[in-house]
Amino acid sequence: MDIVVPMKLHCLFTMLFFWDISLLPFAQTSSLHANTDCGGEFTTEAGTFKSPNFPQGYPTHIICEWTIKVPEHQVIALRFHSFNVDFSDFVAFYDGDSRYDPVIGSTVYRGYWSQAQVSSFSIRSTGHKLHVALHAQGWPSGQGFTASYWSQECQPFTYGRGKECNQSCSCIRDNTLYCDSTTGRCVCKEGWTSATCAVDINECSNPNVCDDVYSTCRNVNGSYECECKPGLARDSTGRCQDSNRCTHKSCSHACGVLSEGPKVETCYCPKGMTLAPNNDQVCVECALWTYGENCTYVANCHRDNTKYYDKLTGHCTCYPNWTSPDCSEDVNECLIEVSPCSGLGQACFNTHGSFQCHCLQSYEVYNQTHCIACGQILTSPSGNISSPAYYVYSGLRNRTECFWTISVSEKHVVALSFLRFGLSIAGHFGSVALYDGSNSSAPLIGTYSSSSPGLIISSYNSMHIVRYGSSSYSHGYTTNGFDATYISYECPEFHYGPYCNLMCHCVRSNSMSCDNHHGTCSCLPGWTGPDCSLDRDECSEKRATCPEYSDCRNKKGGYECVCKAGLEMNNQNICTRKYFFLLPLNRSINSKHISR
C-alpha cells in the first residue's frame, strides 16, 4: 500500500485526537487499553494499544513489537490517535507477523512528522496479520503514541479507502502476487510487469541469463528456460555437452548431431567465440568489443576507460581511475580516506580519469618533486628571485599568493629587473605589485600583469614584491611565474637616477633629502617649492603657534612670536609683565588694563 507523505520537517507537537470508536466497523469490540508492555500480541478483531509509559515517555535503546492477527479473509486497518516520538525514532508497519515481512507502503512514521500528518493516514494490511514495531534510538524519547485497529472484510483483489473494500482490482490474477487493499496497486509475480501485471518480461533479452556456454534462452510466459543447443545434452553435472557421436566433422570445440539419417552434424562454439569465416569447424575468439553467443552482442563499455572486458559476459573491467558498470564514471581519488597528495602545502585536484597534486597558495613547486613555502626576506647585496608555476584556487583572483622583501644596507637602493615574466594563461592574468619600502603599506611603484616592466629602482634601501593569483574560474589555473634578479648600490646624497648619476636641483641648505628615484626634494620646515627655495610664510598661512598676548612675525625659513609692549617671553614661552609698579590699595591689575 502506498502512503504518500510530504517529507517536510516539523516541530513535533502533541495533540489528542478524539474519535468515536463506535463508528468503526467492528464485528467484536474489546478494551485493550491497559497494555503498557513493550510489545504484545492481539487476536481480537478490534482494539487499542500504546507505547510503553505513554504519555510519560518510552525507554530508549529498545525495539517494541506488537503483532495483530484477525480471522483469515479479513484485513487489518490501523490509525493513530496520538503520535509524538523523537526525531531519530520511528514506527514501522510490516505486512505480516514479523519485521522480516514487507514494510507497508515502503515507508515508516518518523518523529519529524506532525500529529496532523500522522492521524490523517489509515494503515491497512493486505492479509490477516499486521506487525508494528517502535524503533527507539539512544536519544531522549518522546511521549509515544496510542493507536486503534480493527478488522474488516476485504476479499482478495478488492480494495477501498473507506470502511469497505468495495472496488475490484484490475490485476491479472494469475500473474499477480496480491492487490493492495487500500490503493488497488497490483504487485506482480516474478516474470510479469505493467500496471495490471499483463506484460511478460522477456528475460532472454539479458544475454547472460543462461550461464552454460552451450545453452540458449527460450522465453515463456512469466519465465524463461535455458536449453542446450540442438544435438547437445546435459551431463550428470547439468552442463551441456556433445555425445562424441560426430563422424564427419572435426569440430574444435563441440559437435552436435542434428539428424541420423542422413546424418547431419554441426559445430558449436562456446559463448565468447564464433566459427571462423572460412572454416565452419574452427572456433575463434570474438572480435574486439563483441561478446556472448556467436559474438552477437557489443560490450557496453566506455572503451577509453576500460582495461579489458569479458568476451563471455561483456563485463567491463575499468582502469584504476574509472568505475561504474560501463567504466564511464571518474573515480575522485581526492575523496579517498588517505589523500594521494598529503605532503606539506599540497592539495589534491581531481581530473578526468586521474588526479593532480598542486601546491597551495603560499607554496611553490621545488625541484618538480615537492612544495616549499614561497616568498622570503632577502638581505644580500644582490640575488635572484624565482617564482615557478603553481596552482591558483577558484575565486582567488587578486588574493596575495607570495611576497618577497629585499632589504639592503642603509644609503643603498635596490635595482630589480625581470628575466622571465609569465603570469597569464588563456587570456587571464595574475599580477606582481612592487612597493617602495619593506611592506605593502609603502608607496606603490606599480602593478604589472601582461608584460614585464623595465628596470625598477627603489627610493630607499628596501623593496617589497607581491604576487597575486590569476584565476576566477571553477578549477583555477596554473601560471608559469617569473624569474628576477636584483642588485644594490650606494646612492650619494642629493643624487638620483638609474645609476644615481644625476644631481638633484634642491637648495641643500633648505632641503631634508632628495628622492633618489625621481629627484624630488623633501624640504626642511619653513621652506617650500620644487627645489625648496621659497620661504613659507607660516604667519599668513596660519601655521604658526604663538602664546597669548604675542604677535607672529615671519622670517626666512621660519617665524617668531613677539610679546606685546610691556610684556616679555619667559622660559616657558608665556608672555608676562616686564616690571612691577605701585597701585593704590584698592586697585588691581587684570587683562583689561593691557591692550592686545
The string of pLDDT tens digits covering residues 550-562 is 999 999 889 999 9
- Asked if the model's pLDDT at residue 116 lies above 50, the reply is yes
- Domain of 544: which CATH number? 2.10.25
Q: Is 5 helix (H, G, I), strand (E, B) or coil?
A: coil
Residues 271 and 289 both lie in one domain? yes
Q: Is residue 52 part of a domain?
A: yes
Domain boundary among the residues 430, 459, 490 is at 490
Residues 148 and 165 both lie in one domain? no
Q: How far is CA 354 from CA 55, 306, 322, 323, 348, in A?
A: 58, 14, 8, 12, 11
Grid coordinates 624569474 are at which residue? Answer: 483
Q: Give residue 541's region: left, alpha or beta (phi > 0; psi -120 to 50).
A: alpha
Residues 378 and 481 both lie in one domain? yes
Query: Per residue, what are the HEC states of 526-581?
Result: CEECCCCCEECCCCCCCCCCCCCCEEEEEECCEEEEEECCCEEECCCCCEEECCCC
Among candidate residues 80, 148, 131, 75, the one with its CA nearest the CA of residue 110? 80
Q: Is residue 316 part of a domain?
A: no
- Domain of 96: which CATH number? 2.60.120.290
In angstroms, the CA 233 to CA 352 distance is: 50
Residues 410 and 476 both lie in one domain? yes
Question: Cis before residue 25, ω within 30 degrees of 0?
Answer: no
- Asked if the model's pLDDT at residue 12 lies above 50, the reply is no
Residues 464 and 568 both lie in one domain? no
Among candidate residues 237, 190, 193, the one with its CA nearest the CA of residue 212? 237
In angstroms, the CA 246 to CA 263 distance is: 9
Q: How far is CA 56 from CA 18, 84, 575, in A?
A: 19, 11, 91
116's enclosing H/E stretch is: helix 115-119
The string of pLDDT tens digits covering residues 354-413 is 887 877 766 766 666 677 777 889 999 999 998 765 554 444 444 556 889 999 998 888
Residues 225 and 292 both lie in one domain? yes
Q: Is residue 243 part of a domain?
A: yes
Residues 402 and 474 both lie in one domain? yes
Domain boundary among the residues 434, 465, 490 is at 490
Highest mean pLDDT among 5-19, 47-61, 68-82, 292-306 belongs to: 292-306
Domain boundary among the residues 123, 152, 181 is at 152
Residues 247 and 258 both lie in one domain? yes
Beta pairing class for 428-429 and 382-387: unpaired
Among candidate residues 159, 182, 220, 230, the one with its CA nearest the CA of residue 79? 182
118's enclosing H/E stretch is: helix 115-119
The string of pLDDT tens digits covering residues 291-317 is 999 999 999 999 999 999 999 999 999
Read off the amino acid at residue 370. H
Q: Is residue 442 part of a domain?
A: yes
Q: Is residue 28 part of a domain?
A: no
CB 501 within 8 A of CB 442: no
- Domain of 192: which CATH number? 2.170.300.10
Residues 44 and 110 both lie in one domain? yes
Quote the domain boundaries for residue 563: 537-579
The string of pLDDT tens digits covering residues 325-347 is 999 999 988 887 777 887 777 77
Residues 58 and 147 both lie in one domain? yes
Residues 470 and 556 both lie in one domain? no
> What is the value of pTM for the model shown?
0.47
Grid coordinates 482478495 are at which residue? Answer: 156
In angstroms, the CA 495 to CA 504 distance is: 5
- Asked if the model's pLDDT at residue 428 lies above 70, the reply is no
Q: How many helices (H) and strands (E) does the chain have?
A: 1, 56
**Which of residues 378 and 24 earns the better pLDDT score?**
378
158's enclosing H/E stretch is: strand 158-159
Residues 291 and 212 both lie in one domain? yes
Split into its structural domains, the chain has a count of 6
Cell numbers representing residue 370 in the block: 615537492
In angstroms, the CA 135 to CA 109 distance is: 10
Q: Is residue 363 part of a domain?
A: no
